[in-house]
Amino acid sequence: MTVQAFNPTCCPLCGQPNQCGQCEPQGADQPCWCFSAIIAPDARQRIPSEARNKACLCARCARGESSPDS
């Protein structure tokens, strides 16, 4: 993934929509679902450096589950 291809509304691991509450126009002042989620340690390690602290994982990747196409 390049910086140009980075999209904060998509999961940086699988590319699916991440349902980020802070990316929603009406939700920018609300915490995202991930603020209270338990994120699998291996999922955190796989996040590309350019997306760290800039994009949510999707719930599936946050749980450490494989993406549907893998």
Model confidence at 2, pLDDT cuts 50, 70, 90, reads very low
- What pLDDT shows up at residue 8? 86
Helix, strand, coil percent values for the chain (each to nearest 5): 35, 5, 65
- What pLDDT shows up at residue 66? 65
How is the chain split into domains, by residue range? 7-62
pLDDT tens digits, one per residue of 13-62 = 999 999 888 877 665 567 788 888 899 999 999 999 988 888 889 999 99
For 34, the 3-state DSSP assignment is: helix
Give the mean pLDDT of 3-15.
81
Task: Indicate the length of the chain as a whole number.
Answer: 70
pLDDT of 10 > 70? The answer is yes
